[in-house]
Structure 1
Amino acid sequence: MMRQLASLVCLSLALCGVLSRAHAASLAKIPVRVVVVTTFELGNDTGDVPGEFQHWVEKLPLSEELPARGSYHEVLRYNPELHVLGIVTGEGPSHMASAMTGLVLDPRFDLRKAYFLLAGIGGINPNFGSVGSAVWAPRVINGGLAHMIDAREIPSDWQDGFVPVQGASPTPRPVPALHSQWGDMAYTLNAHLVNWAYTLTHAIVLPDAPSLQASRARYRDYPAAQKPPQVMVGDTLSSETFWVGAKMNAWAERWVKYWTGNQGQFATTAEEDIGLMQALSAQAKAGRVDINRVLILRAASNYDMPPTGESAAALLKEEADETGFSGFIPSLDASWLVGSMVVRELALHWSSYENTTAGGD
């Protein structure tokens, strides 16, 4: 009887052990070293005219599909050897914030040590650089939250009609407390990480297609816009409104300087970057991600204002369709060339970057 009882106990313990291991396996997270964040794809993920996602899927590659029902793209892509995850969020800050929150809360992943790279295209300020360039962002400035007065009613002594929320003039001092105290208007990325990414990639030779040469030749009065594409560092202004023109560019330059205490330089336009930073900053407070492991790369697909002698409306008509941007394909290539070098370095040398943030803290 005692031997039978002992056998039953051993069997029970063994069964419990098997069940415990099975349960633990069911709870195992999919390992993620880097999350590649893109905002749109034009058609299929492979084999047709590319959007921001396709080069990553085909070339990294991101060969494994993970269902993501209820998300914008309804599928995530994964490289099981490099442990790199790719996502298409949808365009605009709302889509971005929703997608990133959903991803971080997805129980399949533990993203506490993951790096995030937003690899997208955007407009470029011709006072800063040229179309086809790839720009690492040290700061993200919110261009969508403001008071605004119609252009026909702007006071004569104002530079433009945009006023900070809680402000009564374009540049109130001190900076209004609402939003600024939580970082909603200007986010500063980890400078050490940004400098590390730039140092790693700055010597990459970017595509200089005939379309880029023809585009920048029109900008005779803008020396920075006439240079060949290069890897650069400059601030990105995030706004859901696709704006065009010299007067809006002047506002963007002013707005970036205002919200960064004259430290920032307006380089690129974007829609989604503020949503990325808002969502990840909130999740970082809960310990689910590390906000010091976020990078933003914008490759310039177009200029944000026309050359001398041409109208903003004419430029908008010329480039209203994303695929009509003068630097559309070269900017996708540049984003991939520059971004993939960083992703591969992090993923292939994970032992160096898992517990110590690249570039230092």
Structure 2
Amino acid sequence: MSFSFMTRFRAAGLLMGALCTAPSLALAADAPWPVKVVIVTTFENGADTGDKPGELQLWAEREHLSEKIDFPGGVHSILSTPDHSVIAVVTGMSLVNAGTSIMALGTDPRFDLHQAYWLVAGIAGVDPQVASVGSAAWARYVVNDVAQSIDMREAPKDWPYGIYANGAQRPDTLDGTGTDHGALADYPIVFPLNAGLAQWAWRTTRATHLMDTPKMRDFSKGWADYPGARHKPAVILGDSFASDQYWHGIHLNQYARDWVHMFTASHGVFAMSNMEDSAIATAMFRLDRMHRVDYQRLMVLRTASNYTLPPQGQTALQSVTAEYPDEGMPAYEAAWRVGSAVTHTLTGNWARYATHVPTARP
């Protein structure tokens, strides 16, 4: 027996021994954990419990997510209830992080996600035309921002902003993209969610008590010209616009309104800005095609930590660098209070909802 053959033989033996003794994702696939609800958050501040919260902490502390599961395909360990029926993932901020984290979880053999409901529970900027800080919005549409752009200093003077659809000749129109929007065919822009499920989630949670502090009311006075900001925090139906740019300002806010309106054929209403939802929706759509998840069980809940344009008397730069009221706590609380009501309803009635997705008519 040659030295090289013996070397390969011994190396193979060592490899097989390692596979038999080390924790293995492949071995876990023999008995995957059936998951009922996946809580999707995008970031956490510091520790998972006991300090200044981010999107994950209230879920970890209040939903008994006491088990920490290594997640090499993501940016943070997965947290789980002891029976693995509810798990929480931190995707990382931005589209590139969010999409890859969801794909990694969706293909992880340790989890059976075929009947799982996916609940995105993240904070966002809110259009003051629609709602006030501390509010929560269930999305019927998630809209992406793939676009062409010209700096406003070089754009035609009659343009409201320098962003327009691929193939179009100016902003706020699909003219020039072809009757079937052929110029846009390679770019996923709009992701309709299960509208019946969103309506059900809204009806289930619309009476949820939300934070409404003196600091929040004082903060919103600068947006008194907008009807949404004058109202108390509420649970609404409103749509998600996702961009890798942390944008802010009157003109870009109008662009977001127009963009969502245009790409949803006038059915959608821009409510919440964020940096993850379209990537999450893309990953879920592809995982559905792979028969790993059910896209119709995806819910997107965004809660308002700040406004998407400046208050009266401030510049956009002053506004975008300002602190969130109550350090963002109203938005974190709203995400848990509203999202947990749906989570508890689903898990508490699992014999029904395991096989029948809840729905409600508009």
| TM-score interval, smaller chain | 0.7 to 0.9
RMSD: 2.0
SS in 2 for 1:71: coil
Counterpart of 1:163? 164
Counterpart pick for 2:287 among 283, 290, 313:
283
Counterpart of 2:212? 208
Structure 1 residues 360, 214: CA separation in 2 closer, same or farther (over 3 Å shift)?
closer
Report Cα offsets for 1:5-62 as digits up to 9, x if no partner. Answer: xxxxxxxxxxxxxxxxxx9997111120010000000111011100000001000121
CA displacement at 1:181 relative to structure 2: 4.6
Give the Cα–Cα distance (whole angstroms) in 2 for the partners of residues 104 and 193 of structure 1. 21
CA displacement at 1:169 relative to structure 2: 2.1
Report Cα offsets for 1:282-335 as digits up to 9, x if no partner. Answer: 11111111110000000100001112222111102214xxxx455601110010
Counterpart of 1:296? 300
Give the Cα–Cα distance (whole angstroms) in 2 for the partners of residues 179 and 341 of structure 1. 42
CA displacement at 1:130 relative to structure 2: 0.4
1:89 aligns with 2:91: yes
Kindly provide the amino acid, as one letter, of the partner of residue 343 in structure 1. Answer: T
Query: What is the TM-score normalised by the length of structure 2?
Result: 0.88
Give 1:181-260 correspondences, 5 Å limit.
Answer: 181=185, 184-260=188-264
Give the Cα–Cα distance (whole angstroms) in 2 for the partners of residues 207 and 338 of structure 1. 12
1:29 aligns with 2:57: no
CA displacement at 1:223 relative to structure 2: 2.1
Structure 1 residues 26, 223: CA separation in 2 closer, same or farther (over 3 Å shift)?
closer
Kindly provide the amino acid, as one letter, of the partner of residue 149 in structure 2. Answer: M
Counterpart of 1:135? 137
In 2, are the aligned partners of 1:215 and 1:326 still within 8 Å (CA)? no
Give the Cα–Cα distance (whole angstroms) in 2 for the partners of residues 232 and 180 of structure 1. 30
Counterpart of 2:152? 151
Identify the range of structure 1 (46-55 vs 75-84) with the bigger mean alpha-carbon deviation.
Answer: 75-84
Give the Cα–Cα distance (whole angstroms) in 1 for the partners of residues 221 and 133 of structure 2. 11
Kindly provide the amino acid, as one letter, of the partner of residue 340 in structure 1. Answer: S
Give the Cα–Cα distance (whole angstroms) in 1 for the partners of residues 207 and 187 of structure 2. 33
Residue segments in structure 2 that go unaligned for 5+ positions in a row: 1-25
Structure 1 residues 260, 210: CA separation in 2 closer, same or farther (over 3 Å shift)?
same
SS in 1 for 2:346: helix
Structure 1 residues 356, 180: CA separation in 2 closer, same or farther (over 3 Å shift)?
farther
1:354 aligns with 2:354: yes
Identity %: 38
In 1, are the aligned partners of 2:215 and 2:325 still within 8 Å (CA)? no
1:263 aligns with 2:264: no
Query: What is the TM-score normalised by the length of structure 1?
Result: 0.88
In 2, are the aligned partners of 1:150 and 1:161 still within 8 Å (CA)? yes
Kindly provide the amino acid, as one letter, of the partner of residue 261 in structure 1. Answer: A
